[in-house]
Amino acid sequence: MTRFQKLSVATTASTVLLVAVGGLVRATDSGLGCPGWPTCHGRWIPPLEYHAIIEYSHRLLASVVVILVGLQAFVAWRRLRHEPRILRPSLAAVVLVLFQAALGGVVVEGGLEATIVAAHFATAMALVGVLANVTTNAFCLDRPTDRGLAGPDASFARLATWTAGAAGALLVVGAYVRAEGAGLAFRDWPLMDGRLVPTLGGIATLMFVHRVLAVVVLLLVVWLVIRVRAMPDRPRDLVVLTGIALGLFVAQILVGAANVWSRLSPAAVTAHVALSALIWGVLVAVATLSRRSAERGRARAADGDVRANGKRGSFRQSTAAYFQLTKPRIVVLLLVTTVPAMMLAQRGMPSIWLVLATLVGGSIAAGSANAINCYLDRDIDEVMRRTRRRPLPAHRVEPERALAFGYVLGAVSFFFLAIAVNVLAATLALSAIAFYVFVYTMWLKRTSTQNIVIGGAAGAVPALVGWAAVTGTVGLPAWVLFAIVFVWTPPHFWALAMRYRGDYAAAGVPMLPVVRGDEETRRQILRYSLVLFATSLLLVPVGDMGPVYAATAVVLGGWFVWRALQLWRGGSAAGSMRLFRFSIVYLGLLFASVAVDAVLPTGPLV
């Protein structure tokens, strides 16, 4: 690193630390520990008293920051005045830090009035943002101006800027929440007085706005993470920074919960403030990098243009294309497991409205995961014969619109399920979307032969959603149903992968038949079929199942093992497809027997 880069890092880090100590001041009610400003109790050296020491430490660190900001501006003026991206924000930082120091005195003299406190914090965040901008631009000085690779385009730069702006608004609202003493407006996190939308008025409205903004920022950060990892040139700096931003934001959510659960303990409040500054600084860095790339013109559009012979499709064609993004056949297969789980939980037929609401919400959630999967896998789909007619490789839908479509579906599914069913069912459905997108599609699918084994967990979640919709909990029988689908997925999908091994090899996807060969795949299919047979029988004692399910599980399980054994002894591509088709029939009939057994008056076998 150059000397200026080291100086800018030190200045930014010190300012973030200053913000964290400021959070400690608020958390311990030490804001008036040193009445008067700039002295403390009329003295330059504070008395050895708890609140006075905390407040004076904050002032001392502020003095260090003022010196560093001034030094940074001086060096920028002397050595980098030809770089306006560095000189201008460096000078702006001097103005902000002096204004912040003066505002700190007003805060003390004003008796910690909420509006002034929020303005004090907002100015601190503006300073952190400006310094993060300087640091980012400083590290861009020694980079080549054009690597000839596709990177962030103008649309990504706008998304990054909007994300940083939304995060800034969230931070200011959060500061006002703390200043108004509204941090414990709701004591049942993540709900608000037992509801998603509470009775509004007074501090309840303030806290509700804060939480809504937090959800918006989380969605935007996740969108950034998905976008940058789908770029042909996956810029390493942006991949790392967006990943850090997402990790910090998840940590921030947990710390926010800890604030409520601990009744605003000093440690939780201080951590919440410190993470706020870190998140804001990282998002400003992401916005700065992406805007530089877009302005230099070295980024090509990562997604390309929609090419349909120069013509825009009709409304009917567009609707059909978006519908196909949801992979409706897969959605139907997932929902096959939902209703039987609901009937088993009810030991009868649940309310028809509850069933319909759960199916609608589950369908939207599955469609969301599939649409985002289509966006991320569009390069693979274009190579494979089986998938090249999908809307994105066929250029019938713009990639960014497909991603937005999937995003909207995910948000709609969560709020619909949370309102029409319950929050647990909505959270489980959302977790399935996240697992399918981040764990399976973005991580495992292109890196591991265990992709479909671990990734199959996402497809097994509908059974948990169905059970939770009826009971508001997840019982042990629901987990057995989950395990059945989880163990069923590998032999089901590997049978298909054997048929399209060439496609997966051409696309560079390490499916088991590609990496280990057909013989090992057939062996693994047989092993999993045996485990599936045993898992299906486990539901008999755990779920108190009757003879209908027991007989069906024995017959279907034995038939599955027999077909897998035939394939293992010398099956062909045609044989693997026969097993693939039978696996679909197997799952449908097995879960149908769960539903039948749940409504029959016969008692359990054990």
pLDDT band for position 301 (cuts 50, 70, 90): very low
| Neighbouring residues of 67: CB distance < 8 A, sequence distance ≥ 6 | none
- Find the farthest-apart pair of alpha carbons in the chain and give their distance in angstroms, rounded: 91
Instruction: Name the more confident of 292 and 277.
Output: 277
- pLDDT tens for each residue of 358-402: 999 999 999 999 999 999 999 999 999 888 889 999 889 999 899
Chain centroid to Cα 54, Å, comes to 36
Residues found in the chain: 606
Residue 307's pLDDT is: 43
Rg (CA), the chain: 29
What phi, psi does 450 have (nearest 5°)?
A: -90, 15
The token pair that represents 405 in the structure block: 């479509």
Q: Which of 96, 123, 216, 95 is nearest to 164 (CA)?
A: 216
List helix spans (H) across 326-395: 328-335, 338-346, 352-376, 378-383
| Neighbouring residues of 428: CB distance < 8 A, sequence distance ≥ 6 | 461, 464, 465, 468, 474
- For residues 310-322, one letter each, b for 16 or more C-beta atoms within 10 angstroms of the residue's C-beta and e for the rest, the string is eeeeeeeeeeebb
**CB count, 10 Å around CB of 110?**
14
Q: What percent of the chain has pLDDT over 70?
A: 89
Residue 151's pLDDT is: 59
Handedness of CA 163, 9, 77, 69 (dihedral sign): positive
pLDDT at 325 over 90: yes
For residues 527 and 581, the answer to whether their CB atoms sit within 8 Å is no
Residue 148's pLDDT is: 43
Q: Mean pLDDT over residues 497-523, rounded? A: 91
Instruction: Name the more confident of 112 and 460.
Output: 460
Residue 376's pLDDT is: 93
For the chain, how far is it from start to end, CA to CA, in angstroms?
71
Q: From CA 130, how far away is CA 284, in angstroms rounded?
A: 8
| Neighbouring residues of 335: CB distance < 8 A, sequence distance ≥ 6 | 359, 362, 363, 366, 462
pLDDT at 311 over 50: no
- Mean per-residue pLDDT of the chain: 87
| Neighbouring residues of 105: CB distance < 8 A, sequence distance ≥ 6 | 37, 38
Got the DSSP string for 434-503? HIIIIIIIIIITTT-TTHHHHHHHHHHHHHHHHHHHHHSS--HHHHHHHHHHHHHHHHHHHHHHHHTHHH
Instruction: Name the more confident of 79 and 120.
Output: 79
Q: From CA 425, how far away is CA 468, in angstroms rounded?
A: 5
pLDDT band for position 35 (cuts 50, 70, 90): low
For residues 175 and 123, the answer to whether their CB atoms sit within 8 Å is no
| Neighbouring residues of 461: CB distance < 8 A, sequence distance ≥ 6 | 428, 429, 431, 432, 435, 482
The token pair that represents 298 in the structure block: 């070295």
Residue 62's pLDDT is: 86
What phi, psi does 498 have (nearest 5°)?
A: -65, -40
At position 459, the amino acid (one-letter code) is G
Q: Mean pLDDT over residues 180-198, rounded? A: 80
pLDDT band for position 41 (cuts 50, 70, 90): low
Q: From CA 39, how far away is CA 91, in angstroms rounded?
A: 28
**CB count, 10 Å around CB of 353?**
9
Q: Which of 57-61, 98-102, 443-447, 485-489 has the highest mean pLDDT?
A: 485-489
Residue 202's pLDDT is: 77
At position 52, the amino acid (one-letter code) is A
- pLDDT tens for each residue of 572-595: 778 889 999 999 999 999 999 999
Residue 75's pLDDT is: 93
Residue 604's pLDDT is: 59
pLDDT at 189 over 90: no
Residue 467 CB burial class (10 angstroms; 0-12, 13-18, ≥19): buried
Q: What percent of the chain has pLDDT over 90?
A: 57
Cα separations (Å) of 553 from 196, 333, 341, 528? 41, 19, 16, 15
